[in-house]
């Protein structure tokens, strides 16, 4: 899970989930606490779906 997808692609990550921002990849301090927790939960769920997905080559999980 990374904020700058082009770097993840360059260094060879195979399953890439775009994250929020460099200083807070899995959070957003602008949101109320409960919404931020929800955002993080959803990003982690997305990463778990990526882990379950068979990939042949580097894949960015946008949705």
Partner 1 sequence: MAKRKYKVVHYLNQFYAGIGGEEKADIPPLMKEGAVGPGKPLQQALGEQGEIVATVACGDSYFAENIEAAAEGVVEPVSRYKPDVFVAGPAFNAGRYGIACGASCAAVSKKLGIPVVTAMYKENPALELYRKEVYIIPTADSVRGMAEAIPKMASFVRKLGLGQEVGLPEEEGYFPRGIRVNQFVSRTGAERAVDMLVSKLRGEQFQTEYPMPTFERVPPSPGVKELQSATIALVTSGGIVPLGNPDRIEAASASKFAEYNIAGVYDLTPDAYQTCHGGYDPVYANRDPDRVLPLDAMRALEKDGTIGKLFDRYYVTVGNATSIANAQRFGKVIAEKLKAADVDGVILTST
**Which residues of this protein are in contact with partner 1, per CB under 8 A?**
1-4, 6-8, 10-15, 19, 21-27, 29, 37, 40-41, 43-45, 47-48, 51-59
Query: Do 1 and 25 meet the contact criterion of CB atoms below 8 Å apart?
Result: yes
Instruction: Give the tokens for residue 1.
Output: 């899970």
Q: How far is the CB of 62 from partner 1 (least distance, A)?
A: 15
CB closer to partner 1 out of 30 and 63: 30
End-to-end alpha-carbon separation of the chain, Å? 13
Q: With respect to partner 1, which residue has the nearer C-beta, 27 or 63?
A: 27
Residue whose CB is less far from partner 1, 24 or 63: 24
Two tokens, residue 51 = 């882990």
DSSP, collapsed to helix, strand or coil, labels residue 36 as: helix
């Amino acid at each position: 899970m990374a904020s700058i997808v082009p770097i993840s692609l360059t260094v060879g990550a195979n399953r890439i989930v775009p994250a929020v921002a460099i200083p807070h990849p899995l959070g957003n301090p602008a949101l109320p606490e409960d919404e931020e927790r929800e955002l993080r939960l959803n990003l982690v769920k997305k990463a778990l779906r990526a882990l379950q997905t068979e990939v042949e080559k580097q894949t960015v999980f946008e949705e």
